[in-house]
Structure 1
């Protein structure tokens, strides 16, 4: 009813910002072509961000775009969770009810955490990936909604955004790939100080090419003059222009304020103080209007009219007159829906709020809280609880504030706004001591915490304790990705427990610290876990006891495999069953099944994990079901059942994908990549590995993805890419948590890379380190490929003086290590046979019979790359022994066809050279020739000239350019040119690698084959 009251202090002419508006309109055009657009508009308070946005929205409306605006709310511990998204989606829901409902179909309950109109918010599940799942669902809903219409989503005042809003915005900016969608976010740049939480987000967005930053500067004098002309509807006096420009310093809002002050006759009271400038027009309002303005200032960004009426204590006529005066002075504005009022500019609201006396502010906040207590309908239900907490907190009433803040923390948790939950819990901890004892005693853990009370008491009858809040805050910090803060909270709790002995609580916090320390890379978590075990020892069964036993068994399985871990897992299952903790029991049974399979009870172990997989899926425990899929697929690969492993991993990836358990899905893709590699489906394996990197949120699964890409690069002869991916894997895994399942495969890659570059001394050093670290129970699957790679490197280096010197010792080390490795299934029996033959080749003792046994062992395994390598060796042995050439020909053709299909360049090169020497065709259409003469020069096949052949022979012996020059009577510069040409023709990057190629391919002697990598390894947890 007061919309038309506003006086003219805003220029009807849009001044400046032509380039910025053009950038926004251009983004709208690109979005119409199904390219989502993201823009950030920054500038100091009053510089014109809102006006620019309004002009853009008018242009978008003229083009038929559907516009939705949401503003961040400066309220609560840090902000109202998801406030701008909730407001914008509510607007879209009103305008496109059927379309939005269809876009959210099937996920209404989860999306109701952001838009309550979609349905009831479920109580769970809560885990570290709950927020990621919600964000993914939000992104997909927006993409579907914007599939056939342009949607413009504007989020204002990002400097007030809560953590969850910032994280969701960043997620959308990174992941939206389709749809006609434009997201625009504005923020006040002068508020973003060095430690402001928005600053990291802005830095992250600067690194994204898909996000456009627009920074608004102040007006120059000419632009101020145009603004004044628009406001005054006449050309301003030049003296007035100078005065306003000097006093406003080009800030558009200050220009308007100065004009408004002169129009109202209050110019005589102006001071140099910005605060006084903003307050001066408030002070000339009637008393009732001033009172209402001060009440609105404490109500938040927007105050609903019914709530304002309840708080103001005025009759409706008096309130309307007061509002008319405030709106007429251009201080307040009615909201677009007409349901409430807000300040036209937040700077004025802040100035008015700061001008209140402490007692006055507390009294106003109390009246807001009391009004809302008396009438639930005054504000929206989803905002009521957080605003009650804020009002009571600022009313300085701990007795009322503590339960209100705790209730708000529960509401934040239900929305998966864990960072906001943490801030509210920290506020509750601050209020704890000042709240009356009778208030604290009336609180119950069952009402305010989701963590099972570590004390083991009944949460419905036992009073809430400070340690309960610390436990809940620990989990909230962990779920919210604030592990550093979680670690500090556990330290605080354990310090309190030094005075108040409570072994169960202490064990719970030590168990949490174990997980946090490992996750943060501060250690492997064993020291903390050992403390937890000591504390529960001898105590009756409990949830905490079962949790500690589960973690201990899992830790042992991954870090220190041995028979004792199976006993710990069985005890964990028993304890969890006794206390009725089925989720903990299922987790323990996964670990138990894995350990049973490792210890030799394969069928029983697989059956246990399969049962857990089905039960967890039926109960909706998707994280546990995902873990069961991971460990099952890993065990199947270990048994040589790669096709089954791929199928199971695919099923698991689909299951956890629906629940948006991203890290678990990443592990699934990693296991899938390993099994696809084994099956010779390398392109699919590469894509699965890349998906691991794209999906994985934590370091470990990303390390797994990098390792798998390194295996593929090594097999394809891409040594530079191998080194890059190996370094990335090391960086992800770090040095703090040396799990054998991660450590041994990285040694394997390092051996393959060193062999490919001709560094036999480094091969031996890597092997020595790997053997010293040990191959624990169940890890033979990782050790056999490592030993095989080292043996192949030794055989390939035969003839190198530096390698021959230590070969006997190196071969003995490998044989000793192999004697202690298990061969429980055919795939590892085949590896053992292959290793035996390679060690004989290293000693120049291998025979056709040895390689025939290797081929026979591998042939039934569905391992095409491993078989192609073995066939190459058998063909080589047959030719060297003078056997019938026709028996070698099909072996070479089959091996070559596989190598070409896989893209295994190193293997292909060796096969080509061997076939050329033997004058054997590699394809059915190629005619057979006569055997090559003994003095045939294979270097010609690589395009090397006679002089380059001589230089390469010296490079292979380790000669420097100066030594080469002296030997061949050329200049060192000429020698350098020849070396560069040789490197280019061989497709290598260094002298060591060139020497390795020369010896590996026996360019100056009998042909040998390189050391291709064995299959990658599966992850489990």
Structure 2
């Protein structure tokens, strides 16, 4: 009889394999993101994924495999992605991998693998990790252009925070590439507070993510496994007993069979697993205990150094463990325990003194020769082992060093954990400051920065307050001022008041020119402008600009120019806004500063929209978003540009596109304030289309129902405008009037022309709606509005059109909106002009205006507005029939009114006619390939054709592409 420790026959799991195969098939169609394979320890997750990986490889997939590494309570930062990247480099070369990415971008990968040279010197910590994430995403997408990719990540229950965040990011964004992620985790280890739980909950809500729970073996499957191991069909009684004791867990079945045929069974699972080890020679057991202290996988040279054995003696000692499959030979001259449970059981056998001694030996040997571990891992490995050895002095020193290394790899969460260890050990090491060369406050400062970068604002604030408590502002004014800037930034991110007070305090602490004063003034100037203190904000920014120029800091100069442009925008000097941004853009381009370039582009998208050049704004935004992807900055700055594109699309009435842009940007996990900006765009469309539930949820999230004036005038102004429209949508004119009265009684009303006049125009709508009910209140409110309007900034055709609406010159406003190509406000202005005409008895004037307004509202699916137009038409006795058909015939030639193409469908049709594939179209329009497919499916029947070629011919025949 031939016995094997592991069955050579793959037992069961047919349904699970089929699920994985189906997911891979969907991924090939660019419609799947990930499969989460959960199960108890030892249930066969690795065996299943290995089997699937073999099949996928045979089916033409490029399979990349990485695993998470357990190091005490924290994982190893980016371990699975580093392993997959190392595999990719080994299969090809670092040069070939770099060629898949934008020029120079691969230098960021040097933070994970030294084969890519020296990391870039870019110290922009707030966006650095986001850039790394986008780089990994881009790499997978480029690889998938050659053939489908399967990325297997094992043991994500051990994943570090950075890896978990990257996994979530990829799962949300690998939507248009044939990439399938398969991830395994121990479901029995997910206690209530386990950090993987919220990640799994988030991923479960992502389309295309599949949860696959791996059950235990049935008794029949246990019998098949036993037959594979034993080489013969086992007796029923033995199968019955093994099944009962193992509970159907394959690893335990193997361990029970390894106990022999004497019928004895261990009393506990620990004894069951350790039983196969205890039957090995003593020198083998000793070597295994040493290996277990090194982790699931340990290199031969490191194990030899720690054990003190020669190569020959070590190999002789390990050979029995390898023969019984307790230990396996891995690539890279390493050994790996066959299962993590075996390693854990062996490690638990270490006596307390032996445990401390063994981990100290690992720390000493790795510190002596850092090549004994894979590149980039020495510092964290040393820190882990000294911590496990309970050596406070060296645990503190090594944790500080590892924290410094973590920040270079953008592993900020791991940096926080290590810095917190330093803080915990500080009082246990009398000369801690001398040992690591910095004081306690510096550790707190670093921790606050790392927490801020990872969006852990409460944690960052805790560290800031701790540092401030230890500093005296009379002896350390610059340190206190810098911390006050961070405190202000945290308050802004959390939407809390007090940021301006913090910055004014910081400014008083650093009265003379310095880098710190320039930092404080730059931030203070921006927030003053956002709060509508434009004159003071401009003066402060100009002083910061002088300091930057004196010190030759061109990058800061460009940033401050962009800040000045914000002041020009609020003041209504839109042409100067554009030209100032262009100056900053030129500096950023010359310095090759991606951040400055994208920031200037983003602000000019807004400038163009405010100038009424919204089509140009959309085109510039698309260019900016492409650059953001190339620079690896989409998640950070690209989302801001996407928001500005959505605003321009909303202006143009291309609402479905705007919603698509908003949804995609929201999936990128934007900052809180960017999220609110995006939601406000969606809220405008929801209210215009009568989507009450959607609008209510949005207004609640952005704080519009709170009715508390915010510190930032622009936020407050936008929220107030949305709330006014919300009450009018619900048929509550008096509530809308109440909101308007509150807005004009003590208003932090933004004087930015686009925002201020737009709010006043909305207040005019509220007044008109309530005029017949509360004429005196309306008259008082109008008088207040008129008084405020005197000081309102002007500038640009958009604010001028809103001014005309406020003043009641609806026909002139309608002409302006028509010239600007803004159909919704054009239709609304026509409705109000028609209402005025009806009041004066001009029935023909009403008809002309309503028949022009109605098709605009119908095309937009602006149901409330269309209903208002229909109601007025019935009241006056005017027929609207034929107007919609006429509108479509003008725009679409021979197309029937029900077959009219939407603006997005026209864009898709134009690219289809140019010969682009669905995937290429998706890339051009920043939508998913699946969405393109839906558009194409809608276009074909509308054109009365059945193929893409026929659609292209019809488009030219009907002159739809001109």
Query: TM-score with structure 1 length normalisation?
Result: 0.77
Q: 1:515 aligns with which of 489, 494, 508?
A: 489
CA-to-partner distance for each residue in 1:160-207, whole Å, 9 max, x for gaps? Answer: 111111111122222212344332211122222122211211222232
Shift of 1:767: 0.3
Partner of 1:285: 280
Aligned equivalents of 2:54 and 2:300: distance in 1? 27
Q: 1:42 aligns with which of 32, 35, 38?
A: 38
Shift of 1:761: 0.8
Partner of 2:758: 785
Q: In 2, are the aligned partners of 1:77 and 1:424 still within 8 Å (CA)? A: no
CA spacing shift, 1:23–1:731, aligned 2, 3 Å: farther
Shift of 1:334: 0.8
Q: Which sits farther off after the overlay, 901-910 or 568-577?
A: 901-910
Partner of 2:336: 342
1:815 aligns with 2:786: yes
Q: 2:77 aligns with which of 77, 81, 84?
A: 81
CA spacing shift, 1:827–1:601, aligned 2, 3 Å: closer
The correspondence of residues 689-708 of structure 1 with structure 2, limited to 5 A, is 689-695=662-668, 697-708=670-681
Partner of 2:198: 200
Q: 1:387 aligns with which of 381, 391, 403?
A: 381
Partner of 1:665: 638
Aligned equivalents of 1:666 and 1:20: distance in 2? 38
CA-to-partner distance for each residue in 1:962-982, whole Å, 9 max, x for gaps? Answer: xxxxxxxxxxxxxxxxxxxxx
Q: Secondary structure at the match of 1:128?
A: helix
Partner of 2:355: 361
Partner of 1:166: 164
Partner of 2:595: 623
Q: Secondary structure at the match of 1:765?
A: helix
Q: Secondary structure at the match of 2:5?
A: coil
CA spacing shift, 1:735–1:363, aligned 2, 3 Å: farther
The runs of 5 or more residues in structure 2 that have no matched partner are 887-962
The correspondence of residues 747-896 of structure 1 with structure 2, limited to 5 A, is 747-776=720-749, 778-796=751-769, 800=772, 802-804=773-775, 806-825=777-796, 827-837=798-808, 866-867=825-826, 869-870=828-829, 894-895=852-853
CA-to-partner distance for each residue in 1:433-453, whole Å, 9 max, x for gaps? Answer: 55574x85475xxxxxxxxxx
Q: In 2, are the aligned partners of 1:218 and 1:250 still within 8 Å (CA)? A: yes
CA-to-partner distance for each residue in 1:139-163, whole Å, 9 max, x for gaps? Answer: 2322332334343322112121111
1:410 aligns with 2:407: no
Q: 1:142 aligns with which of 122, 140, 143?
A: 140
CA-to-partner distance for each residue in 1:597-626, whole Å, 9 max, x for gaps? Answer: 534766655544332232234334433443
CA spacing shift, 1:557–1:34, aligned 2, 3 Å: closer
Q: Secondary structure at the match of 1:481?
A: coil
Aligned equivalents of 1:210 and 1:572: distance in 2? 49
CA-to-partner distance for each residue in 1:222-253, whole Å, 9 max, x for gaps? Answer: 44444333333334455544543444333322
CA spacing shift, 1:666–1:51, aligned 2, 3 Å: closer
Q: 1:466 aligns with which of 437, 440, 445?
A: 440
Q: Secondary structure at the match of 1:318?
A: helix
Larger radius of gyration: 1
Q: Which sits farther off after the overlay, 888-897 or 84-93?
A: 888-897
Partner of 2:956: none
CA spacing shift, 1:12–1:714, aligned 2, 3 Å: closer
Partner of 1:14: 10
Q: Secondary structure at the match of 1:146?
A: helix
Aligned equivalents of 1:381 and 1:15: distance in 2? 38
Partner of 1:420: 414
Aligned equivalents of 2:885 and 2:54: distance in 1? 72
Aligned equivalents of 1:262 and 1:735: distance in 2? 75
CA spacing shift, 1:246–1:610, aligned 2, 3 Å: same
Partner of 1:496: 470
Shift of 1:293: 0.7
Q: In 2, are the aligned partners of 1:524 and 1:736 still within 8 Å (CA)? A: no
CA spacing shift, 1:730–1:617, aligned 2, 3 Å: farther
CA-to-partner distance for each residue in 1:485-525, whole Å, 9 max, x for gaps? Answer: 22222222223336995332223223212222332344453
Q: In 2, are the aligned partners of 1:557 and 1:565 still within 8 Å (CA)? A: yes
Aligned equivalents of 1:54 and 1:857: distance in 2? 65
Q: Secondary structure at the match of 2:328?
A: strand
Q: 1:71 aligns with which of 67, 77, 82?
A: 67
Q: In 1, are the aligned partners of 2:43 and 2:216 still within 8 Å (CA)? A: yes
1:322 aligns with 2:317: yes
Q: Secondary structure at the match of 1:359?
A: helix
Q: Secondary structure at the match of 1:69?
A: strand
Q: 2:719 aligns with which of 743, 746, 750?
A: 746
CA spacing shift, 1:427–1:774, aligned 2, 3 Å: same
Partner of 1:308: 303
CA spacing shift, 1:523–1:924, aligned 2, 3 Å: closer
Shift of 1:692: 4.3
Q: In 1, are the aligned partners of 2:716 and 2:748 still within 8 Å (CA)? A: no
The correspondence of residues 473-488 of structure 1 with structure 2, limited to 5 A, is 473-488=447-462
The correspondence of residues 434-449 of structure 1 with structure 2, limited to 5 A, is 434=428, 437=431, 440-441=433-434, 443=436
Shift of 1:765: 0.4
Aligned equivalents of 2:835 and 2:148: distance in 1? 65
Q: Secondary structure at the match of 2:70?
A: coil
Aligned equivalents of 2:617 and 2:434: distance in 1? 54
Shift of 1:768: 0.8
Q: In 2, are the aligned partners of 1:11 and 1:227 still within 8 Å (CA)? A: yes
Shift of 1:72: 1.2
Q: In 1, are the aligned partners of 2:222 and 2:250 still within 8 Å (CA)? A: yes
CA spacing shift, 1:734–1:178, aligned 2, 3 Å: farther
Q: Which sits farther off after the overlay, 345-354 or 644-653?
A: 644-653
Q: In 2, are the aligned partners of 1:715 and 1:906 still within 8 Å (CA)? A: yes
Aligned equivalents of 2:793 and 2:473: distance in 1? 51
CA spacing shift, 1:560–1:54, aligned 2, 3 Å: same
Shift of 1:135: 1.9
Q: In 2, are the aligned partners of 1:514 and 1:526 still within 8 Å (CA)? A: yes
1:568 aligns with 2:540: yes
Q: In 1, are the aligned partners of 2:397 and 2:435 still within 8 Å (CA)? A: no
Shift of 1:87: 1.6
Q: Secondary structure at the match of 2:74?
A: coil
1:555 aligns with 2:527: yes
The correspondence of residues 641-680 of structure 1 with structure 2, limited to 5 A, is 642=614, 645-659=617-631, 660-679=633-652
CA spacing shift, 1:777–1:50, aligned 2, 3 Å: closer
Q: In 1, are the aligned partners of 2:64 and 2:152 still within 8 Å (CA)? A: yes
